[in-house]
Amino acid sequence: MALVLTGLAVLAPASAMAPAGAPYRWTNITVGGGGFAPGIVFSTAAPGLAYLRTDMGGAYRWEDKTGTWVPLMDGIAEGSYFGVESIAPDPVARDRVYAAVGMSFRGAAAMLRSDDRGTHWRTVPVPFRMGGNEAGRGLGERLAVDPRDTRQLLFGSRHDGLWRSDDAGLHWRRDKAFPYAGAGAPPPRETHAGIGFVLFDRGRSRVFAGIADAGSAGLLRSDDDGKNWSRVIGGPKGLLPVKAAIDRAGRLYVTYADGVGPSGVTRGAIWALEPSGEFHDITPDPRPDAPPGGYIGIAADPKRGGIAYASTFNRWKPGDTLWRTTDGGRHWADLGPLSRRDTRATPFLNWGRPEAALGHWIAGLALDPFDPGRLAYTTGDTVYVTNDAAKPALLWTPWTKGVEQTAIITLTSPTAGAPLISGFGDLGGFVHRDFGRSPPGMFLSPRNTNTNTLDYAGRAGLVLVRSGNVHDGQEIEAGLGWSDDGGASWHPLRTPLWNDGHGLEAQGKAPITVSADGQRFFVAAERPLLTRDRGKKWVEIVGLPRNVRIVADKVDARLAWAIDPDTRRIFASVDGGEHFAPMATRGLCADLSLARPRGRESQPALVASPFAPGDLFLLCGTELYRSRDGGPTFQRLAPDLDIALFGLGLGSSPANPAVYAVARRAEETGIWRSPDGGAHWGRIDDAEHRWGGRFRVISGDPRRRGRVYIGTDGRGILYGDPAG
d(CA 293, CA 289): 11
* Plot region of 667 (φ>0 → left; ψ -120 to 50 → alpha; else → beta): left
**Helix H or strand E encompassing 196:** strand 195-200
CA angle 416, 430, 428 (to 5 degrees): 135
CB under 8 Å to 221, separation ≥6 — which residues?
Answer: 206, 207, 208, 229, 230, 231, 232
The DSSP secondary-structure symbol of 243 reads E
CA distance 527 to 519: 20
Compute the distance between CA of residue 271 and CA of residue 320 in angstroms, rounded to an integer. 19
Identify the burial level of 312 via C-beta atoms within 10 angstroms of its C-beta, where 0-12 means exposed, 13-18 middle and 19 or more buried. buried
Handedness of CA 10, 21, 648, 705 (dihedral sign): negative
Residue from 55, 74, 285, 701 carrying the catalytic annotation: 55
* Cβ contact 691:677 at 8 Å: no
Q: Tell how strand 394-398 and strand 339-341 pair up.
A: parallel
Which member of 223, 388, 426, 686 is catalytic? 426
Task: Name the nearest CA neighbour of 376 among 334, 322, 338, 337.
Answer: 322
Question: DSSP label at 689?
Answer: B
Measure the CA–CA gap between 121 and 581, rounded to whole angstroms. Answer: 56
426 is catalytic: yes
Q: Residue 29 carries which DSSP code?
A: P
55 is catalytic: yes
349 phi, psi to nearest 5 deg: -65, -20
619, burial (CB in 10 Å: exposed 0-12, middle 13-18, buried 19+): buried
Task: Enumerate the active-site residues.
Answer: 55, 426
